[in-house]
């Protein structure tokens, strides 16, 4: 079983400027209402530690592995609950240059595993949208 959620927002800033904010994990607690802490570095194959706090949901810490890093374009990770196949999530951040001074920011997650039907992902979608809005505000004001 699998399910994908995807959110997007247009930000009046360059992909490079947004990228710098996105990979500056030290400042996540200051601005990010959903992913409140990340430790580690964005390099393919690295394991990082991520803390999420969905609005109205239970916070959790997990240790995904970085799958991809394309400078000023995208990065993704794969997290899992206990072991592969139970509840896995491939989280992706994409930056698409609109060539007009704006960037389309897409945040998505592809969930798979036999527990997927039992999870309500509404709080996760709200969390994605809240994070997207705060990223937009930060990138457009600085």
Domain boundaries, the chain: 2-141
d(CA 115, CA 123): 17
What confidence score (pLDDT) does residue 142 get?
67
For 97, the token pair is 């240059």
Is 2-141 a CATH 3.30.530.20 domain? yes
First to last CA, the chain: 42
Asked if residue 22 has pLDDT above 70, the reply is: yes
Helix axis angle, 15-22 to 122-141, nearest 10°: 120
pLDDT tens, 43-57? Answer: 999 999 999 998 877
Nearest 5°: CA angle at 84, between 2 and 113? 20
Asked if residue 82 has pLDDT above 90, the reply is: no
Q: pTM (2 decimals)?
A: 0.93
**Other beta carbons less than 10 A from residue 103's beta carbon:** 26
pLDDT tens, 64-74? Answer: 999 999 999 99
d(CA 124, CA 121): 5
What confidence score (pLDDT) does residue 115 get?
87
Mean pLDDT rounded to a whole number for the chain: 94
Asked if residue 30 has pLDDT above 80, the reply is: yes
Which spans in the chain are helix H?
Answer: 15-22, 28-31, 122-141
In the chain, what percentage of residues exceed pLDDT 90?
A: 81
The DSSP 8-state label assigned to residue 116 in this structure reads: G
pLDDT tens, 83-138? Answer: 788 889 999 999 999 999 999 999 999 999 988 888 888 999 999 999 999 999 99
Asked if residue 81 has pLDDT above 90, the reply is: no
């Amino acid at each position: 079983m699998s399910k994908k959620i995807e959110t997007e927002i247009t930000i009046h800033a360059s992909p490079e400027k947004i990228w710098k904010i996105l990979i500056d994990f030290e400042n996540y607690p200051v601005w990010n209402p959903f992913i409140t802490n990340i430790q580690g570095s964005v390099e393919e194959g690295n394991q990082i530690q991520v803390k999420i706090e969905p609005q109205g949901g239970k916070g959790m810490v997990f240790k995904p592995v970085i799958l991809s890093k394309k400078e000023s374009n995208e990065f993704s990770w794969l997290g899992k609950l206990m072991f592969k196949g139970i509840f896995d999530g491939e989280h992706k951040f994409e930056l698409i240059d609109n060539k007009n001074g704006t960037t389309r920011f897409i945040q998505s997650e592809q969930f798979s595993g036999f527990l997927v039907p039992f999870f309500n992902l509404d709080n996760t979608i709200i969390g994605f949208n809240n994070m997207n809005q705060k990223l937009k505000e930060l990138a457009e004001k600085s």
